[in-house]
Amino acid sequence: MIVIFCEWFVKIGGLFCHSLLFMPYRNLFLQRFNWQLPNNVMIEIRNIRKSFGEKVVINDVSATMKPGNTNLIIGTSGSGKTVLMKIMIGLMPVSSGEVLYEGKDLTKMNETELKHLRKQIGMLFQGSALFDSKTVEANVMFPLDMFTRMTHTEKLKRVNEVLDRVNLKDANHKFPAEISGGMKKRVALARAIVQNPKYLFCDEPNSGLDPQTSLVIDKLIQELTKEYKITTVINTHDMNTVMESGDYILYMYKGNKQWEGSNKDIIFSKDEKLNSFIFASEFLTKAKEMSMIEARSAKPNAK
């Protein structure tokens, strides 16, 4: 009798844990108890090719984003960053290749699966893409109106939470035309995280901002990434972002993956194309040399 009881206890317990791991709120549940996903390689792209007519713009690119970290896609204008990001979030079809989210290929998902995945993705578009005719509050509430059945009071509570988190407590009733560029980016960021996403994509979050405001935005994205254990992917030209927040960096050159590594590896990189992109000015080349000397004297075995 006791053996049968124990067997059933284990079976029901197993079923309960299994359903918790696969239910729609799995991410929130795992975050709450600080657990890791069983397969923590969350976003991987494999052999991505994209062409427009004869023109190949992404050529056989494979990469694995670091879960729960800030991942950067860098490269000169036209190297394919935005196209690659659009492919990663399913806004643009691939010519061939796979985009895997926890092992599941986005390019083969049906509409229901895609809709479910999209709810877990936050996106900050280049230029913020706010609705000019809507207030800050209505802009941030928009994804909740579209994707949830929350009551107005619940939505407003969530909107105020995220606005507070991006330090925009009293901006609810302002229109985009009435706020600064940096504030617009923060509104766009609040909108991107309002649904508590598991994945955050930012296309040039610093474009058009002064260096100081850029640092504020970078810091905010980094804090949100760590705080909510989001896997973040950022397209950027900004060298401060590269040095401060590149846990994983994919350097694109004319549609090809030219280099990958972290911001710490960049100092020692011998890749000429990467070096001429990152350390474009004489000043930065000198700074790299100084950093290498410093790092070598701290770690005599470093090559």
Ligand X SMILES: Nc1ncnc2c1ncn2[C@@H]1O[C@H](COP(=O)(O)OP(=O)(O)OP(=O)(O)O)[C@@H](O)[C@H]1O
CB of 29 to ligand X, least distance (A): 36
- 8 Å CB contact between 258 and 80: no
Q: Which region, judged by CB under 5 A, interacts with Mg ion, from 2-10, 73-81, 245-253, 295-303?
A: 73-81
Give the CA-trace dihedral at 202, 204, 205, 207, to 10 degrees. Answer: -170
Q: Which of 215, 213, 225 is nearest to 68 (CA)?
A: 225
- Considering only 11, 78, 104, 169, the residue that binds ligand X (CB under 6 A) is 78
User: According to the binding rule CB under 6 A, does residue 205 interact with ligand X?
Assistant: no
User: According to the binding rule CB under 6 A, does residue 5 interact with ligand X?
Assistant: no
User: According to the binding rule CB under 5 A, does residue 236 interact with Mg ion?
Assistant: no
User: Which amino acid appears at position 185 of this protein?
Assistant: K
- Binding residues for ligand X, total number by CB under 6 A: 10
Q: How far is CA 209 from the centre of its chain?
A: 19
User: According to the binding rule CB under 5 A, does residue 82 interact with Mg ion?
Assistant: yes
CB of 221 to Mg ion, least distance (A): 17
259 vs 273: CA distance, rounded Å: 9
Judged by beta carbon distances under 5 to 8 A according to partner kind, the member of Mg ion, ligand X, none in contact with residue 52 is ligand X
User: According to the binding rule CB under 6 A, does residue 75 interact with ligand X?
Assistant: yes
β-strand partners of 55: 52
CB of 232 to ligand X, least distance (A): 17
User: What are φ and ψ of residue 253, in 5° steps?
Assistant: -135, 115
Give the CA-trace dihedral at 206, 100, 50, 207, to 10 degrees. Answer: 0
User: According to the binding rule CB under 6 A, does residue 128 interact with ligand X?
Assistant: no
37-40, long-range: CB < 8 A, 24+ apart = 37/67, 37/102, 39/102, 39/103, 40/67, 40/68
Q: Which region, judged by CB under 6 A, interacts with ligand X, from 77-85, 107-115, 192-200, 286-294?
A: 77-85
User: According to the binding rule CB under 5 A, does residue 79 interact with Mg ion?
Assistant: no
C-beta of 126 vs 275, nearer to ligand X: 126
- Considering only 30, 41, 57, 109, the residue that binds ligand X (CB under 6 A) is 57
Residues that bind ligand X (CB under 6 A): 52, 57, 75, 77-83
Residues that bind Mg ion (CB under 5 A): 81-82
